[in-house]
């Protein structure tokens, strides 16, 4: 039984112009430790995105990676400095699903396509008889691996900004991009 620790992070920039917020580039990253040994890193980005989308995508990419590497009975720990992301999958999503993927107030859920993709990966991890844990870490603190994921995400954001290209975990997933420049 192996223990996989994924330290995930996202970074994005938004600017205020004429009283409105404009989306800019973002980056996502994960750092993987297997049985506490450094194994690999992955990162990418998107020219128009939000921080929440990048945080979620880093979790998505880490789960995809885990499913390719793992065997039955392995443990996966997803570390994130985003309370929003952890709360989605440990508190809110089960009820959103019961209500037809709507919030309790009936309003739509932002980033739903990505959230549902992660929800499916969570089910795939369970079917594989693996154990999934979400662990909150403090951002921009003394956690070496979270800081490394943050550095990779920021660098990926800068590359996405300069290149204007989206870099996915898997080019066929189509889960990034398509956002408008303005945030209302």
Domain regions of the chain by residue span: 3-85+112-183
Supply the pLDDT for residue 177: 72
CB 68 within 8 A of CB 32: no
| Mean pLDDT (whole number) for 147-158 | 96
Q: What percent of the chain has pLDDT over 90?
A: 75
| Mean pLDDT (whole number) for 136-153 | 89
Who's near 184: CB < 8 A, 6+ residues apart?
A: 20
Q: Which CATH architecture has domain 3-85+112-183?
A: 2-Layer Sandwich (3.30)
- 92 CB neighbour count, 10 Å cutoff: 15
pLDDT digits (tens, 9 = 90+) for 30-79: 999 999 888 789 999 999 999 999 999 999 999 999 999 999 999 999 99
pLDDT higher than 70, residue 174: yes
Of 22-26, 72-76, 89-93, least confident by mean pLDDT is: 22-26
Which uninterrupted H or E stretch holds 52?
helix 51-69
Confidence of residue 179 (pLDDT cuts 50, 70, 90): low
pLDDT higher than 60, residue 118: yes
Average pLDDT, rounded, for the chain: 91
CB 35 within 8 A of CB 3: yes
pLDDT digits (tens, 9 = 90+) for 10-23: 999 888 888 888 88
The pTM (predicted TM-score) of the whole model is 0.93
CB 160 within 8 A of CB 48: no
CB 32 within 8 A of CB 41: yes
Supply the pLDDT for residue 183: 54
Q: For 74, what's the count of Cα atoms within 13 Å in the CB-facing half-sphere?
A: 19
Supply the pLDDT for residue 180: 55
| Mean pLDDT (whole number) for 173-181 | 72
| Mean pLDDT (whole number) for 118-128 | 97
Supply the pLDDT for residue 142: 81
- Residue 176's nearest CA partner among 61, 91, 74, 79 is 61
């Amino acid at each position: 039984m192996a223990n996989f620790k994924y330290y995930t992070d996202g970074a994005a920039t938004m600017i205020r112009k004429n009283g409105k917020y404009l989306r800019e580039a973002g980056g996502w990253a994960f750092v993987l430790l297997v049985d506490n040994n450094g194994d690999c890193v992955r990162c990418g980005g998107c020219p128009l995105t939000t921080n929440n989308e990048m945080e979620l995508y880093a979790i998505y990419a880490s789960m995809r990676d885990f499913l390719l590497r793992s065997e039955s009975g392995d443990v996966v720990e997803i570390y994130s400095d985003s309370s929003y992301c952890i709360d989605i999958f440990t508190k809110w999503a089960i009820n959103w699903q019961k209500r037809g993927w709507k919030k309790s107030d009936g309003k739509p859920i932002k980033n739903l396509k990505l959230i549902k993709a992660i929800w499916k990966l969570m089910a795939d991890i369970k079917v594989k008889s693996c154990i999934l844990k979400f662990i909150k870490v403090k951002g921009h603190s003394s956690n070496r691996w979270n800081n490394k994921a943050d550095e990779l995400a920021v660098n990926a954001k800068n590359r996405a900004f300069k290149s204007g290209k989206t870099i996915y975990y898997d080019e066929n997933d189509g889960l990034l991009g398509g956002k408008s420049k303005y945030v209302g």
